[in-house]
């Protein structure tokens, strides 16, 4: 299982210019997270601070019980072996060919024989679609290939934590999709904790389990993907839809006068740059059929259901809808619990009932038999009157 990364109150500034303040978040082990943010909000700086390349002014970054910010140099190098980092431009060693680049960590850190190394290196190169390019120098290949080679090198030591700095920049949409799939497959195979820094909305919507966003020198939010994808926060909304109306300007922030002017223009019919509203929860990317199930997904489900009542209603809705009917029963929740009043008091089938529907439809959209008592247990009385937004799991049942 991947390692957990706990970041507390991390603050970084260059001279007098603050980059971000008091960033606190936890990368849950084995889950895929995405850090969004407009250009220049210090996303790359954040990554570099996480691995101790830059020294934050304050705060902690704890990996496996080691605080990266404060620990000794020796511990730092040891802890870094857990990381696989993909840099923006691949950061390959210019004087070595691709094979030697990918073999470098193995030669430095392991006592493997050259035949073993060869096997691993060729496997990773094939995984990233670089078979046959082993003898090329980094200067002789395209940016996309360099990026993939950088990923291959980050993977040879089977890292517990993978950090990707804009894996999509400079890649075409198809290769980006392949790369996203590759990351998800990797996560399914080695259960590594993954953090992707990007501003590609498509990646952000389909790949991660958790999404965070940096803006105005702060972490705007970090949480389950549904929270950000359904958020009403103006910054998030603007960013996801890629339009000019909103708090993000060409230089990072804009003033209210500019905002008002743009709003006026948009109201007058001027195009605001966006196409359609892409908010809302979309199905997540799944591992390629044949690979093991992602362990992180199951852990995340339990984790998210535990904190469900603390999340905003829209996010709750999205999460509940993404569950299969059996899971909804297992956790004792139902979709549209507060949207349709007639369902609010409907009894929830307990886990003992075998699933009759395997379709994607939410349970109440499926034709139901008249109240024939097929679902055994007695109706659960609903406390309160206003129609609770979700039903908290019954003790001893929900967390199973």
Partner 1 sequence: MTAGASTARFPGIGMLRETGKLFALGLDVGRGIFQRPFQLREFIQQSWFIASVTILPTALVAIPFGAVISLQFGSLARQLGAQSYTGAGSVLATVQQASPLVTALLVAGAGGSAICADIGARTIREEIDAMEVLGVSAVQRLIVPRVLACMLVALLLNGMVSVIGVLGGYFFNVVLQDGTPGAYLASFSALAQLPDLWVGEIKALIFGFIAAVVASYRGLHPPPGPKGVGDAVNQSVVITFLLLFVVNFVITLIYLQIVPTKLG
Chain residues in the site for partner 1 (CB under 8 A)? 48, 51, 53, 57, 73, 77-78, 80-81, 83, 85, 87-89, 91-94, 104-105, 108-109, 150, 153, 157
Closest distance between partner 1 and the C-beta of residue 88, in Å? 8
User: 91 or 201: whose CB is closer to partner 1?
Assistant: 91
What's the CA gap between 333 and 399, in Å, rounded? 12
Closest distance between partner 1 and the C-beta of residue 222, in Å? 23
Closest distance between partner 1 and the C-beta of residue 132, in Å? 24
Q: Is 236 exposed, middle or buried (0-12, 13-18, 19+ CB in 10 A)?
A: buried
CA-closest candidate to residue 284, choices 394, 181, 139, 215: 181
What's the CA gap between 61 and 49, in Å, rounded? 9
Are residues 182 and 21 in contact, defined by beta-carbon separation less than 8 angstroms?
no
Closest distance between partner 1 and the C-beta of residue 2, in Å? 17
Closest distance between partner 1 and the C-beta of residue 94, in Å? 7
Give the residue ranges of DSSP H helices in 268-380: 295-306, 313-322, 325-331
Q: How many CA atoms lie within 13 A of 368 on its CB side?
A: 14
User: 94 or 283: whose CB is closer to partner 1?
Assistant: 94
Closest distance between partner 1 and the C-beta of residue 53, in Å? 5
Are residues 10 and 58 in contact, defined by beta-carbon separation less than 8 angstroms?
yes
User: 75 or 357: whose CB is closer to partner 1?
Assistant: 75
Cα dihedral: 75, 195, 323, 381 (round 10): 60
Give the residue ranges of DSSP H helices in the chain: 43-50, 73-80, 98-109, 114-127, 143-155, 173-190, 201-206, 225-229, 234-241, 256-267, 295-306, 313-322, 325-331
Are residues 125 and 13 in contact, defined by beta-carbon separation less than 8 angstroms?
no
Closest distance between partner 1 and the C-beta of residue 332, in Å? 44
What's the CA gap between 87 and 105, in Å, rounded? 15
User: 85 or 311: whose CB is closer to partner 1?
Assistant: 85
Closest distance between partner 1 and the C-beta of residue 51, in Å? 5
**Residues whose CB is less than 8 angstroms from the CB of residue 298 and which lie 6 or more positions away in sequence, other chains included:** none
- DSSP class per residue in 167-198: TTTT--HHHHHHHHHHHHHHHHHH--EEEEE-
**Residues whose CB is less than 8 angstroms from the CB of residue 112 and which lie 6 or more positions away in sequence, other chains included:** 106, 120
Closest distance between partner 1 and the C-beta of residue 120, in Å? 15
């Amino acid at each position: 299982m991947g390692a957990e990364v706990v970041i507390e109150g991390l603050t970084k500034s260059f001279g007098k210019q603050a980059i971000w303040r008091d960033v606190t978040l936890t990368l849950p082990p084995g889950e895929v997270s995405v850090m969004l943010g407009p250009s220049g909000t210090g996303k790359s700086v954040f990554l570099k601070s996480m691995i101790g390349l830059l020294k934050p002014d304050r705060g902690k970054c704890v990996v496996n019980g080691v605080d990266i910010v404060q620990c000794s140099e020796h511990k730092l190098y040891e802890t870094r072996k857990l990381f696989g980092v993909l840099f923006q431009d691949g950061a390959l060693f210019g004087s070595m060919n691709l094979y030697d680049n990918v073999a470098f960590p193995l030669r430095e850190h392991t006592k493997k024989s050259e035949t073993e190394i060869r096997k691993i290196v060729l496997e990773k190169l094939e995984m990233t679609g670089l078979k046959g390019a082993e003898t090329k120098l980094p200067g002789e290949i395209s940016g996309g290939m360099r990026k993939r080679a950088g990923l291959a090198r980050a993977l040879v030591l089977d890292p517990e934590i993978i950090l990707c700095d804009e894996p999509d920049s400079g890649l075409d949409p198809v290769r980006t999709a392949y790369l996203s799939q590759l990351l998800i497959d990797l996560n399914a195979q080695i259960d590594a904790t993954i953090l992707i820094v990007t501003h590609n909305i498509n990646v952000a919507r389909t790949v991660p389990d958790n999404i965070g966003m940096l803006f105005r020198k702060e972490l705007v939010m970090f949480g389950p993907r549904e929270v950000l994808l359904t958020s009403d926060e103006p910054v998030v909304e603007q960013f996801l839809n890629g339009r000019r109306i909103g708090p993000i300007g060409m230089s990072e922030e804009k003033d209210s006068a500019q905002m008002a002017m743009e709003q006026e223009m948009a109201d007058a019919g001027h195009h605001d740059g966006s196409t359609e509203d892409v908010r809302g929860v979309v199905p997540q990317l799944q591992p390629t059929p044949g690979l093991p199930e992602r362990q992180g997904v199951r852990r995340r489900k339990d984790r998210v259901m535990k904190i469900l009542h603390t999340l905003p209603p829209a996010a709750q809705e999205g999460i509940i809808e993404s569950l299969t009917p059996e899971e909804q029963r297992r956790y004792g929740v139902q979709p549209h619990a507060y949207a349709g009043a007639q369902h609010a008091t409907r009894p929830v089938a307990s886990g003992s009932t075998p699933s009759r529907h395997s379709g994607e439809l939410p349970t109440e959209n499926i034709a139901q038999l008249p109240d024939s008592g097929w679902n055994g247990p007695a109706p659960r009385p609903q406390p309160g009157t206003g129609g609770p937004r979700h039903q908290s799991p019954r003790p001893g049942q929900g967390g199973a």
